[in-house]
Amino acid sequence: MKKLLFFFFTFLFFNSVNAENVNESNFLEFLSKKNYFSADFVQTTFKDEQERKIKGEIKANRRGMFKVIYLEPLNEIITSNGHQLYRLDREMEQLDISEIDATFSESPIGIFSSNREELEDIFSVKECLTDQEIVTCVLEPKSEGSFLKLASVELINNELNSLIYFDTFEQKVILEFFFVNWDKILDNAFILKIPEGIDVVNH
């Protein structure tokens, strides 16, 4: 019993220390070492005193591959193999395919799908604030033309809890993450299965 208690308190102690060790100088390195990311999320968007809430799922790796599934009412899938972007609108029964460009690296998905060099080229860490086991780091895009104006990433015991960002459309978006997982994701998880009867549009 004493050994179990010792392990428990040691576990809490080291988690607390690790959380405090995340700071302005190593936050992007901390993120980039997480080669894979998957989670469920609730996205809340605020604009002109209106609020829209939607649930979804996200998968990403540091080779530029990602898949974002928006559930009802949006009912849309956005995925990339690192080179091409696929946007499936199931309501419109249309699949748009285009070459991926830098705007996605500068968007919130880039935080999870860009490698360390890309992250350092795109973002600077304005500050990291620590409150016990909670660390909140604020990212600023280096490009004036970036889709993001500001992004705030919150960690609890080094686990991703939420992402808040402001974009060029004057929107505030809050992403709350659940069932966060950093384990390896096979490449076939990013493949988009195209339903029958879908119109394919190449751009």
pLDDT above 80 for 167: yes
Q: How confident is the model at residue 90 (pLDDT cuts 50, 70, 90)?
A: confident
Confidence grade of residue 18 (pLDDT, cut at 50, 70, 90): very low
pLDDT at site 185? 97
Per-residue pLDDT at 105 = 77
Return the CATH number at 154. Answer: 2.50.20.10
pLDDT at 195 over 90: no
Q: Is residue 16 part of a domain?
A: no
Position 10 in a domain: no
- The count of structural domains within the chain is 1
Cα separations in angstroms, 160 against 40, 57, 99, 145, 177: 12, 14, 30, 27, 7
Beta bridge partners of residue 56, listed in sequence order: 41, 70
Percent of the chain predicted with pLDDT > 70: 90
Please compute the mean of the pLDDT values over residues 176-190 and round it to a whole number: 96
Residue 90 φ/ψ, nearest 5 degrees:
-75, -25
Q: Characterise 26 by phi-psi region: left (phi > 0), alpha (psi -120 to 50), beta (else).
A: alpha
Give the whole-angstrom CA distance, residue 138 versus residue 24: 9
Q: What is the pLDDT of residue 117?
A: 93
Q: Would you state the pLDDT for residue 2?
A: 40
Q: Is the pLDDT of residue 6 over 90?
A: no
Q: Taking phi first (over 0 means left), then psi (-120 to 50 degrees means alpha), and beta for anything else, what does residue 174 get? A: beta
* 96 domain-assigned: yes
Residue 36 pLDDT more than 90?
Answer: yes
Q: Which residues pair with 179 in a beta bridge?
A: none
Cβ atoms of 37 and 163 closer than 8 Å = no
Q: Say if 11 falls within a structural domain.
A: no
- 4 in any annotated domain: no
- φ, ψ dihedrals at 184, nearest 5°: -60, 140
* pLDDT of 8 above 60: no
Tell me the pLDDT tens digit for each residue of 103-155.
777 788 999 999 999 999 999 999 999 998 999 999 999 988 888 899 999 99
Domain that holds residue 144: 24-194+196-200
CA diameter of the chain: 64
Whether 133 maps to a domain, the answer reads: yes
Mean of the per-residue pLDDT values of the chain = 87
Residue 8, domain member (yes or no): no
What's the pLDDT score for residue 12? 36
Q: Residue 106 has what pLDDT?
A: 78
**166 in any annotated domain:** yes
